[in-house]
Amino acid sequence: MRKRKKKAMATEEKLYLRFSAFHRLSHFLLIVSFFGLVLTGIPLAFQGHDWARWLYSLLGGYPTCGYIHRICAGITFLCAFLHFAYVSNLMLWKGEGAKILWGVESILLQPKDVMDILADLKWLLGFGPRPAFDRWIYWEKFEYLSLLWGTIVMAGTGFLLWFPTTFSIIFPGWVMDMALIAHRYEAILAAAFVFTIHFVHTHLLPDRVPVDEAMFTGRVSGEELQHERPVQYKRLLDAGVLEAYRVPPNKTLSFISKVIAVPLLLIGLLLTSLMVSSLIIDLI
């Protein structure tokens, strides 16, 4: 018994690298820009409510919030450019195109994901075992796709709102109106999605509370890897490369991740409840 406990502790202490410094930096820039955009944009969409006017003036009001919104949009463009350059480099110069588009390492949807979704539904209804996932679970792939799609929509429509006089010469008035409506409602949808769905599995699952540090420290424990992504664990173990992913703990990064992420969780949840209650009040 004691032997087994000792063995479990040893597995727990083993840490493996899941995200490189580049991915962590990109995700960090994304957090900064997304929160900046949400906090300076959402109050405009809810300007009929006291909390929104209070938040807007707290952040500097007009025109400061407009400047913050545009600077954060610039950071989003930088993230998109970095990601595009990273993927192009891997595909065109490193010859990893096939690996990015297809197979177990790809973050794009594969036929196995359809089987995983069905198996997961069966498991949730109590009719089968939990499916065994590889490096990316299907909902992580959907999150990635929704970020790609969301960025294209928000950047496109946001650009039209940024230069209304110029674009009004090119496009009819209804295009400009549609851009504002799409920007506003996609913003509410994106914020609510990130602050609920993304936050549930990165902060609020019982084994993650108060934060899943993987995107900050880049590390996951051997136990978590084995439990969450057994196919990847076994694949790396069988290929004899698992140990190459071993990394030492980083207590400083782990502490910083909590200090940054916990207040953001609270802000996100508070903002979502304010948005939802304001939408309900506006409806009735």
Q: Which of 29, 49, 83, 140 binds ligand HEM (CB under 6 A)?
A: 140
Contact call for residue 225 and ligand HEM (CB under 6 A): no
Q: Which of 17, 29, 44, 256 binds ligand HEM (CB under 6 A)?
A: 44
Token output for 1: 């018994």
Pick out residues in 10-39 that bind ligand HEM (CB under 6 A). 18, 27, 30-31, 34, 37-38
Angle, CA of 168, 170 and 176, to the nearest 5°: 40
Contact call for residue 55 and ligand HEM (CB under 6 A): no
Pick 94 or 258: Cβ nearer ligand HEM: 258
Q: Among 50-58, 152-160, 242-250, 276-284, which window interacts with ligand HEM (CB under 6 A)?
A: 152-160
Contact by Cβ (8 Å): 268, 40: no
Could you give the strand order of the β-sheet that contains 15-17, starting from the edge strand earlier in sequence?
219-221, 15-17, 246-247
Measured from the CB of residue 263, what is the shortest distance to ligand HEM in angstroms?
9
Measured from the CB of residue 88, what is the shortest distance to ligand HEM in angstroms?
19
Measured from the CB of residue 147, what is the shortest distance to ligand HEM in angstroms?
4
CA distances, 41 to each of 12, 108, 154, 217 (Å): 42, 30, 11, 30
Among 208, 231, 209, residue whose Cα is nearest residue 220: 208
Contact call for residue 271 and ligand HEM (CB under 6 A): no
| Long-range contact set of residues 26-34: C-beta below 8 Å, sequence gap at least 24 | 26/79, 26/82, 26/83, 27/215, 28/216, 29/75, 29/78, 29/79, 29/82, 30/76, 30/79, 30/147, 31/260, 31/264, 32/72, 32/75, 33/72, 33/73, 33/75, 33/76, 33/79, 34/72, 34/76, 34/194
Number of residues binding to ligand HEM, judged by CB under 6 A: 41
Q: Which of 214, 225, 242, 271 binds ligand HEM (CB under 6 A)?
A: 214
Q: Among 110-118, 126-134, 191-199, 235-243, which window interacts with ligand HEM (CB under 6 A)?
A: 191-199
Contact call for residue 179 and ligand HEM (CB under 6 A): no
Cα dihedral 266, 190, 58, 155 in deg (nearest 10): 140
Measured from the CB of residue 73, what is the shortest distance to ligand HEM in angstroms?
4
Angle, CA of 220, 225 and 226, to the nearest 5°: 150
Measured from the CB of residue 144, what is the shortest distance to ligand HEM in angstroms?
5
Interface with ligand HEM (CB under 6 A): 18, 27, 30-31, 34, 37-38, 41-42, 44-45, 66, 69, 73, 76, 140, 143-144, 147, 154-155, 158-159, 161-162, 183-184, 187, 190-191, 194, 198, 202-203, 211-212, 214-215, 261, 264-265
